[in-house]
Amino acid sequence: MTPEPPVTVGSTATPLLEVDDLRTTFHTPRGAVRAVDGVSLRLSAGETIGVVGESGSGKSVLGRTIMGLISAGPATEVQGTVRIGGRDVHALAPGERRRLWGPEVAMVFQDPMTSLNPTKRIGTHLTETLRLHLGLRRGAAADRAIELLVQVGIPEPRRRVRQFPHELSGGMRQRVVIALALACSPKLLIADEPTTALDVTVQKQILDLLGTLAERLDMATILISHDLGVIAGRTDRVAVMYAGRIAETAATAAVFEHPLHPYTDALIGSIPRLSNEPHAELRVIDGNPPDMSAPPPGCRFAPRCVHAFERCREEAPPPHEPLAYDARHSVACHAPLLPAPNADSGNADSGNADSMNGGDD
């Protein structure tokens, strides 16, 4: 079966990040697991994109592959290209790739306790990074470490640099991880579930901090989350991933106001709302994500989709051309939901899932 064309997410500006037909496959005893399967995207300086989807949809693997932390090996196959500032990350020798980490691209991992070495003081984490990547002398690196802790809002920074990770709260450890990622003023920041296991108040503080720093540094950001609510109002665009592929991409407001893919619509419907009655049941998506070592033919969401028909189960949907009323909104679906009310009335009928089902059956 010919693989479906990759979905492209991007703007018309000169991109800082270019990802073309990226595929990451892990060879396991159960077979080849296609964690990322034909993803393409573009990201410009100062732009923030949210990558969302259920656990296991390939979001974190996508981020790590872009970073260059996952590369081809005996049990791993990486195809496609990743260019940061015009340089092909996976074509570089390991030593050259590591030199990109820090000044060009950095990552905030979701678990700060495993991201930090428990045997090293906070100051040592920061000064080692600064001396390695920027060549600072010991004194200058120590002063810069203090500045970074101040920048991310950690109180009493001169005392904190002498402490170990276990002496800090979860929110403060996450701020240290952010300080580490920003130490060399990277052009691209990948934040993988940066607010996992933090309480709601700290979540807001961390997300506000990332947004402020991205704006101040004109830094491109990929914000990875399983929760659409986390990225609402904090991203320019959203890419919704399902089973290793991108199902829908659009400006953030468009995704929330007029989701076209049934999966996106179901994700948004599962978000609790203040308008809900007390103890009201939340909307759920029936079924489970597919086994990526043996994904179903056709659309991978079809077994769980209430709008699916025969074509969905047999033929993988290609990414749609940009919509007539929004050139940055695309959806990989044979039966997209109703488009926005301001779309042309003739297009509205063709976009209705029920009318399309009737036409194809």
Per-residue pLDDT for 4 more than 50? no
pLDDT score for 231: 87
Residue 161 lies in a domain: yes
Residue 341 lies in a domain: no
Residue predicted with more confidence, 275 or 13:
275
Residue 154 lies in a domain: yes
* Three-state SS letters, 88-148: EHHHCCHHHHHHHECCCEEEECCCHHHHCCCCCCHHHHHHHHHHHHHCCCHHHHHHHHHHH
Distance between CA atoms of residues 138 and 124, nearest Å: 10
> Same domain for 188 and 250?
yes
> Same domain for 16 and 122?
no
For the ranges 2-6, 166-170, 313-317, 335-339, which has the lowest average pLDDT?
Answer: 2-6
The most distant pair of C-alpha atoms in the chain lies apart, rounded to whole Å, by: 72
> Same domain for 33 and 127?
no
> Same domain for 61 and 177?
no
Q: Over the chain, what is the mean pLDDT?
A: 85
81-112 confidence digits (pLDDT tens): 999 999 999 998 888 888 899 889 999 988 77
- DSSP codes joined into one string, 199-265: -HHHHHHHHHHHHHHHHHHT-EEEEEES-HHHHTTT-SEEEEEETTEEEEEEEHHHHHHS--SHHHH
- Contact between 81 and 20 under an 8 Å Cβ cutoff? The reply is yes
Instruction: Band the pLDDT of 360: cuts 50, 70, 90.
Output: very low
| Residues of the domain holding 195 | 7-116+184-255
Quote the percentage of the chain above a pLDDT of 90.
50
Ramachandran angles phi, psi of 233, nearest 5°: 75, 0
pLDDT score for 361: 35
Residue 192 lies in a domain: yes
Please list the residues that pair with 51 across neighbouring strands: 224, 239
> Same domain for 206 and 175?
no
Q: Which residues of 128-163 are buried (b: 16+ CB within 10 A; e: fewer)?
A: bbbbbbeebeeeebbebbbebbebbbbeebeebbee
> Same domain for 106 and 214?
yes
184-239 confidence digits (pLDDT tens): 989 999 999 888 767 888 888 888 888 988 998 899 999 999 888 788 888 999 99
> Same domain for 148 and 138?
yes
Domain count, the chain: 2
Per-residue pLDDT for 298 more than 60? yes
Which residues does 42 contact at the CB level (< 8 Å), separation at least 6? 8, 9, 10, 11, 15, 17, 18, 19
User: Computed from CA positions of residues 255, 327, 188, 211, in that sequence, does the dihedral angle turn out positive or negative?
Assistant: negative
> Same domain for 70 and 177?
no
- The packing angle between helices 138-151 and 122-134, to 10°, is 120
Residue 345 lies in a domain: no
pLDDT score for 73: 84
Task: Say if residue 279 is exposed, middle or buried (CB neighbours under 10 Å; 0-12, 13-18, 19+).
Answer: exposed
